[in-house]
Chains A and B, each alone.
Chain A
Amino acid sequence: MAVKSIGKYEAKMMDAVENFHGNQLVYIGWDKHRLINSAMAFPLPPQMPFGALLSDVMPMCYKDHPDFEQVVWDDSIIWNLNGELFVPDVEKSLQDNGIDHKSILRFETPNLTGLNGVGM
């Protein structure tokens, strides 16, 4: 469908990647850890190695959850990129892992079930 209008109505791409000064937006969410209210937004260089997400970006956001210090970044983590199961290569860049502008990257930690054991 398209907008009904009295004249020409063009889409203005307000959040095009060109507007982010060389960065791209990446959203990161920890499934079933509702203490952190939503996935968070980060402007990141596309060349950033995936490993830096784990070491530098994730702690900023998730250090506030008591489960976080027990997270082990091994095969038990279930990754999801834009709604599809995903296996990251920690040595490669975000771009080379297929993480592009406004991607949503989620992770699940089946061994950690949050506050009260109900996913909070």
Chain B
Amino acid sequence: MTMNTKNRKKRLNMKEKYKHMTRLGWETSYQDMDKVFPYDNYEGIKIHDWEAWEDPFRMTMDSYWKYQGEKDKKLYAIIDAFAQNNAQKNITDARYVSALKLFLTGVSPLEYQAHRGFAHVARNFRGDGPRVACQMQAIDELRHVQTQIHTLSHYNKHFNGFSEFAHWHDRVWYLSVPKSFFDDARTAGPFEFMIAIGFSFEYVLTNLLFVPFMSGAAYNGDMATVTFGFSAQSDEARHMTLGLQAIKFMLEQDPANVPIVQGWIDKWTWRGYKVLGLVSMMMDYMLPESPQSWKEAWELYFEENTVALFKDLERYGIKVPDCAGTVAAEKDHLSHQIWMTFYTHGAAAPFHTWLPDEKKMDWLSEKYPDTFDKYYRPVYEHWAKLEKEGKRYYSEMLPQLCQTCQIPMLYTEIEKGEPTQIAHRHTIFNGERFHFCSDHCKDIFENEPEKYTHAWMPVQQIFQGNCGGATLPEVLDWYKVKFGTDNLDYVGSEDEATWKQWHGQE
């Protein structure tokens, strides 16, 4: 060794190191900055000083790898232990697995979409602070989709309904709801994307997805999913901080940004709420043991926590989105109306549905004293009678869809005091009629009609002949959903037979 180690330079302190490892910005000299960054100025958001961005992550790539590597080691150790101990046999009931199927098919592809979206905006903000922060989040999201697939892959060895999730994301009718949500966000400009996903979804709504669902997994004996949830949740906390920094940065830069940001908050809170309708049904109907009702979760995470957050934003002139009133009115009905829809269209979805049993119905009566016994219990009792007669009800029809959220038009006029009258709204654009499930979806369309006329609406696509054929077996074939295996009622399914065999109940 010839190097004089005694005179080696002192290590950088954290602050200096952070500065060196996140320095990506410079003024271009022979290219116009607007050509290098073409996307961050057309939405109308005015940024006067990109240096004012305070990176809430305060994390550099070397510490990121170390931190995430440690978390992954713990996660994979538990997944291995779960597999080796055949812990899938220890869950409460095989019905629970349908909730996991919904999670993998509905949510996991969104993590990948989030990765793509954050990678895109990380390239396109001209300030290096938000670029670095978004880059870290892009990697987090990619890690989430990988760990979710790994966590759930063990179930794929024993249960139907997992194998084709990536194919299903692009084709299956109900998955057009979460898909269109992210397609909409990713085709917006970078600032709208940050409000859509970084703020509205991550900050305002993600707790509703991760916290109650993971405690639901714990209640039902699924420790692998709980561990995944813990591993992801520490990232989510960082993502929420980024979302909050993004909105404050926009609001503080210029007062002209405030109404634009408010419009995006209104739009994306509503769109996010519609996607979370799937979660309401998971919580209330799909978990054999439910730790908390959808209504309770909504009250805690939205009405208490989020409304407090909006109080903090009031000083910028931001107010609670108008849709909050509609959502509050709907919380007593939402999960029931959605589960009814999936129960009747259960021949076309790749997971199992079933009627709530007496114990579950009593729990629902207790949690929803104003609505369940009056409106929904008689429906389930009617269908139970048909099932007993061997006439399980499956709708053979295709529903009318909302042009904006793409959900079947199943929502009723609850806010207007007519809880059994389906809400119908429409507008004319370019000489053609478009239909909506709510005033909020209609407003979103009318604000950018050109965008939503492009929507790939599953029902319309089937009737146009673009989905393998006109009959259900042809469409399911095109979906790669195996009829009688991946779909139909839980009772009589292979999943049920496997479960009974494991537990000596044949």
Contacts and interface: CB of A to CB of B under 8 A. Distances in A.
Interface of A: 1-6, 9-16, 19-21, 23, 25, 27, 29, 31-32, 34-43, 60-61, 64, 66, 82-83, 100-104, 106, 114-116, 118-120
B449 interface: yes
Given A37-B410, A38-B408, A118-B374, A14 B393 contact: no
A102 to B, nearest CB: 4
A37 B465 contact: no
Chain B interface extent, by class = 35 or more
B454 A37 contact: no
Nearest to B397: A40
Contacts of A9: 450-451
A12 B379 CA distance: 41
Contacts of B453: 11-15
B43 interface: yes
Given A13-B430, A34-B420, A39 B374 contact: no
Interface in B456-487: 456-457, 459-460, 463-465
B460 to A, nearest CB: 5
Contacts of B449: 2, 11
B399 A40 contact: yes
B382 A115 contact: yes
B375 interface: yes
A37 B420 contact: no
B42 A120 contact: no
B504 to A, nearest CB: 38
Interface of B: 38-39, 42-44, 189, 337, 340-341, 344-345, 374-376, 378-379, 382, 393, 395-401, 408-410, 412, 419-422, 424, 426, 429-430, 432-435, 446-451, 453-457, 459-460, 463-465
A31 B340 contact: no
A35 to B, nearest CB: 6
Contacts, number: 149
A32 B429 contact: no
Contact of B433 (A19, A82, A114, A118): A82
Nearest to B460: A15
B432 to A, nearest CB: 6
Contact of A120 (B189, B397, B420): B420
Given A6-B39, A13-B453, A118 B375 contact: yes
A103 B382 CA distance: 31
Contacts of A29: 400, 422, 424
A118 B382 CA distance: 14
B43 A10 contact: no
A82 B325 CA distance: 26
Contacts of B464: 15, 19-21
B396 A60 contact: yes
Contact of B457 (A6, A15, A35, A64): A15
Contacts of A14: 453-457, 460
